[in-house]
Amino acid sequence: MVRIISQETYDEVVRENIEEFDMAPEDAIKEAVAQFEAQGVDLSNIIRDLSLGAGDNHLVSVTVSKLKELPKNHNEAISKELDVLIAECNKDIAHRVRAGKEGAYNILLELLSASYNSYIQSPNEKEEIAFLKRVLASLIALMDSQPDLLESKGIDLIKSILDNVENQEILIATLKWISVCCLKHEINRQKIFAKDIIENLKTLLKIKGNIKLLSETLQVIRRLTLDDDIRLEFGKAHERARELGLHLLEPLTLLLKENTKPPLVSELMLTSASLLVRHELCAAVAERGGDVLFTVLADNFENAAVVQQAGKLITALAGNDDVKRQLVKSGIIPIIVSILARHSSNPTVAAITLKCIAALSLRESAHSRQFVDAGAAEHVAQCMLMHPADRSVQKNGCWAVRNIVARSRDLNVKFLELGIESILNKAYELFSKDFGYDIKSALRDLECDVKLDEQWTGKGVQLEQ
């Protein structure tokens, strides 16, 4: 079991090593670290470097103290201390935790509120804009990996800035702050979403010519769909994704038509895929701009990063059977097979493309035959041979094989000729605990010899009459 200590406890042990055992500071720190690690103590939240002193003499503590004492209208002096605070917080989580415990969040929020009000009165004043951006940068640095600091006043300020600020640099900084607050924090996501942030995001998507602003907006949309807070058993990621999809998929599809090449095409496809959580949303995207996928793939066939996100979007769209059939009817299968052949050496792209094949062939025997006719069997087997230790390639590969042959057993011969049975058996040796059932299911549908485990057996007890 991992143990946790306070910064004060760590500081005291280092101080004892220096004072009682006459150690040099560097040796005192090494000895303290070794001692705590031997006891199973987690030091990730502890500032180990005490070269500037311990306790209240930490540079973080000194800086926060100065920020408390400085008059709120001394922007130049405050900016210098904010630069120090940002530099310290960017070192590691321990420095950020220290700053948080010292009360840095409340100080920064007061500064943000004051500077925001000043900006509203003088929106074109360069010094006010620069100071507001610096305060936001400080909040981003402080709250990276500790979003728990956010509270209602901070959320209200976020909403006010999005509602009333037109300066794009300030908007970019605010969006970055939102992203930091939403990562691994379901409650923050729910509270921010409850402020009707959808309308703000929709407005931001309409702003033309600022790639950075659009990129940060897309990042916030994706962060709002996350379900990564292990502290909560149930979240509302699906509900948020559905609402975001209803309002934002149309402008996102239009943007994708306008940006079929990097730098934005990958982010647009990734964001759209994260919102496709309902059949009607898939149908809406396919109706308004499903054909743009063919343009994207044609323009970026050699670009692994773009092809990877295109595969995710196609897989998401294939969740709707009607959309899946329309994609195949439009000629997506030869393109997918060509992508697998071209990028087979890239395990990430190969895994996503194999998953795409599995999605397009699921419960569709006609699609399965088209895949085999296009040479998919050879490339699926080749990818699995090229990446025998890659979990995703092997898992998605066995799904692709199973879905292709499940309703078309006459296609088994082609896969067996390529040695797929041996490939799957080797995969089972490595990954039986992870997805052994999927591998055995593929072998079963290939009509290979396979021993299926009984999931439940009775105990042979005689039932009473």
Mean pLDDT on 373-399: 97
Query: Greater confidence, 19 or 355?
Result: 355
In the structure, what pLDDT confidence band is assigned to residue 238 with cuts at 50, 70 and 90?
very high
Q: Which CATH class is domain 331-448?
A: mainly alpha
Residue 50, pLDDT score:
57
- Count other C-beta atoms under 10 Å from residue 21's C-beta: 10
Query: Greater confidence, 248 or 37?
Result: 248
Mean pLDDT on 390-418: 97
Closest C-alpha to 197, from 250, 244, 246: 244
Per the CB < 8 A criterion, the answer to whether 99 and 139 are in contact is no
Distance linking the first and last C-alpha atoms of the chain: 51
Low-confidence winner among 10-24, 268-282, 334-348, 380-394 (lowest mean pLDDT): 10-24
Residue 326, pLDDT score:
96
Over residues 182-230, the pLDDT tens digits come to 999 999 999 999 999 999 999 999 999 999 999 999 999 999 999 999 9
In the structure, what pLDDT confidence band is assigned to residue 456 with cuts at 50, 70 and 90?
low
Per the CB < 8 A criterion, the answer to whether 391 and 434 are in contact is yes
H or E, element range at 64? helix 59-69
Query: Greater confidence, 402 or 10?
Result: 402
Please list the residues that pair with 360 across neighbouring strands.
Answer: none
Low-confidence winner among 62-76, 331-345, 354-368 (lowest mean pLDDT): 62-76
Residue 95, pLDDT score:
93
Over residues 336-351, the pLDDT tens digits come to 999 999 999 999 999 9
Q: How far is CA 78 from the centre of its chain?
A: 34
Give the pair of three-digit tokens for residue 420. 């797929």
The b/e string for 343-377 (b: 16+ C-beta within 10 A; e otherwise) is: bbebbbbbbbbbbbbbbbbbebbebbbbbbebebb
Rounded to 5 degrees, what are φ and ψ at 4? -125, 140
Does the pLDDT at position 51 exceed 50? no
H or E, element range at 116? helix 104-121
